[in-house]
Amino acid sequence: MNVKEGIIIYDVAIIGAGVIGCSVARELSRFNIKTIALEKGPDVSVGASRANSGIVHGGYDAKPGTLKAKYNVLGQQMFERLSSELDFPFKRNGSLVVAFGKDGLPELERLMAQGETNGLKNLSIIYKDGLLQMEPNLNSNVYAALVVPEGGITSPYEMAIAVAENATSNGVVFKFNCEATNISKINGVFSIETTGGVFESHLIINAAGLYSDSINNMLSSHKLKIIPRRGEYCLFDKTESSLVTHTIFQLPTDMGKGILVTPTADGNLLVGPTSNDINDKSDISTTAAGLSEVLSKGSLSVGKLNKSKIITSFSGLRAHLGYDDFIVGEAPDVPGLINLCGIESPGLTSAPAIAAEVADIVSKRLNQAENPNFNPVRKGIPYFRLMNNEERKAAIKENPDYGNIVCRCESVTKAEILQALRSPLGTSSMDSIKRRTRMGMGRCQGSFCSMRALGIIAEELGVDITEVTKFGKGTNFLNERNKESL
């Protein structure tokens, strides 16, 4: 690490703290590398990593020989270890790719062969009777399915938070509300101007997701273009999660893997996504047409979807490049700019493998030794809802706030909210607390607990209640005291 006129020159600046940027940050923290992660949003995982299917893909879908195939299969195998080291939810529930007629069989066979080429060993095809035994709520017109035991589910934002917290405790600096506006390279050092100050580094990891084209284009003459591909989802009440145990795919199309029906790692049922290329990278609105497509296509797999059990709908944007693969590597004309672009599905699954590869490239380039103090373990907030009664008694004895339930739908206690507020990344918006505790994520969607949560947050931060936000500047819950405008 060099110090120049009082400004720290970081070895590495990661631009973008989604699941990719955070995973890279953690892998770099295994080495003696001074790393800063710059994020334009108010928290980690607020872009594509917040709103996606949360699927750990087996790896049958990507074309053999592509980076997608490589990192998918490698990444998928890393999840057991990662989730146990970092304490985030992961379950290898298995995926099924369902065909509804005999004419779909050749495609299932092709996917199976492709998966085997990619290195999957346990694929099989199962026919109607066996399939319905496995998943009795599938529609009875199913014909056969590809069984992918390697498929799994995780919570994308809980994973990103876990990885980022571990990276922080191993020395990575995270800066929020820092949108890169201009980058130049002077005497071999990158100068990154952001909305939150200027930062300098020797290397840049471009993990800016939807905006990774702009970051690249600030420096490279090899221009990239990311097309935001929007996916809309409906999330169902926990009462519906037992409709299926596997992740149910339909046969894929040119636009992606189609509408899936899956239990989530947190115990809800998720249906989606649609797939539409749009122009506006900030447009995460849902549409009437999209939501109705989610339901109609989801019903093709599971007819029993009960619309009245939807608790929320949302959309996310995938960072789609013009062609069908990731970019992982140095920009040809900008030494030191390592691009991680077009990381759409299976990006979440690939994140651990991509991060390991980047750390390998960077540590060799910087010739840095391993960090002897690296601690791979991160403990998450102990969740009241996941404790048994003996654990609950002990937790309350230790900390009486564990007996104070704030969010009744998800049984989130004041103790958990305070721990989230005091977590190492230091984020304090309502949505940040929500993603760390599940407060307000249940069937009432925060109607009961918002006021109490606002009070707890304001008290802990020592601010007026009107200053508490939903997700950063301009998103305050309360406007003013009664009668102030009279």
Partner 1 sequence: MQRELTCINCPMGCQLSVTLEGGDVKNVEGATCKKGIDYAKVECTNPTRIVTSTIRLKGAPLCALPVKTEAPIPKGKIAECMQALKGIEISAPVSIGAIIIENICGTGINIIATRGI
Partner 2 sequence: MKKVDVAIIGGGPAGLAAAIGAKRRGIENIIIIEREANLGGILNQCIHNGFGLHTFSEELTGPEYASRYIDEIKKEGIPFLLDTTVLDVTPDKKIIAVNSSGLIELEAKAVILAMGCRERPRGALNIPGTRPAGIYTAGTAQKFVNIDGYLPGKEAVILGSGDIGLIMARRLTLEGAKVKAVIELMPYSGGLKRNIVQCLDDYGIPLKLSHTITEIKGNERVTGVTVSKVDEKLLPIPGTEEYIPCDTILLSVGLIPENELSKNAGAMLSNITGGPTVNESLQTSTEGVFACGNVLHVHDLVDFVSEESMRAGESAALYVLGEQAATQAAIKLEPAGGVRYTVPSTIDPGNIKDKIDIRFRVGNVYKNKYIAAYFDGQLELRRKRLVMAPGEMETISFPKEVFDKYPGTGTITMTIEG
What residue 401 binds from partner 1, partner 2, none (CB within 5 to 8 A, per partner kind)? Answer: partner 2
Catalytic residues: 57
Query: Is position 241 an interface residue for partner 2 (rule: CB under 8 A)?
Result: no
Contact 164, 17 (CB under 8 A): yes
Site for partner 2 in 404-423 (CB under 8 A): 404-405, 408, 411
Stretch that binds partner 2, among 76-84, 267-275, 373-381, 393-401 (CB under 8 A): 393-401
Query: Is position 311 an interface residue for partner 2 (rule: CB under 8 A)?
Result: yes
CA distances for 459 relative to 239, 380, 462, 465, angstroms: 34, 23, 5, 8
Query: Is position 479 an interface residue for partner 2 (rule: CB under 8 A)?
Result: yes
What residue 129 binds from partner 1, partner 2, none (CB within 5 to 8 A, per partner kind)? Answer: none
Query: Is position 480 an interface residue for partner 1 (rule: CB under 8 A)?
Result: no
**DSSP annotation string for 188-230:** TEEEEEETTEEEEEEEEEE--GGGHHHHHHHH-SS---EEEEE
Stretch that binds partner 1, among 22-30, 136-144, 322-330, 475-483 (CB under 8 A): 475-483
**Residue count, binding to partner 1 (CB under 8 A):** 4
Instruction: Residue 238: name the closest of 260, 265, 267, 218 by CA.
Output: 267
Residue 73 in tokens? 């299969």
Q: What distance separates the 2 farthest-apart alpha carbons in the chain?
A: 72
What residue 235 binds from partner 1, partner 2, none (CB within 5 to 8 A, per partner kind)? Answer: partner 2
Site for partner 2 in 181-240 (CB under 8 A): 234-235
Contact 362, 267 (CB under 8 A): no
CA distances for 421 relative to 166, 332, 381, angstroms: 16, 42, 11
Angle, CA of 47, 51 and 57, to the nearest 5° = 110
Closest distance between partner 1 and the C-beta of residue 384, in Å?
23
What residue 177 binds from partner 1, partner 2, none (CB within 5 to 8 A, per partner kind)? Answer: none
Angle, CA of 130, 135 and 138, to the nearest 5° = 105
Query: Is position 459 an interface residue for partner 1 (rule: CB under 8 A)?
Result: no
Between β-strands 337-341 and 405-407, what pairing exists: parallel, antiparallel or unpaired?
Answer: unpaired
Stretch that binds partner 1, among 171-179, 193-201, 445-453, 476-484 (CB under 8 A): 476-484
- The residue among 295 and 465 lying less far from partner 1, judged by its C-beta, is 465
Residue 469 phi/psi, 5-degree rounding, is -115, 165
Closest distance between partner 2 and the C-beta of residue 430, in Å?
9
**Residue count, binding to partner 2 (CB under 8 A):** 60
3-state secondary structure at position 249 = strand
- List residues binding partner 2 (CB under 8 A): 234-235, 282-288, 290-291, 307-308, 310-314, 389, 392-393, 396-397, 400-405, 408, 411, 443-448, 450-451, 455, 465-466, 469-486
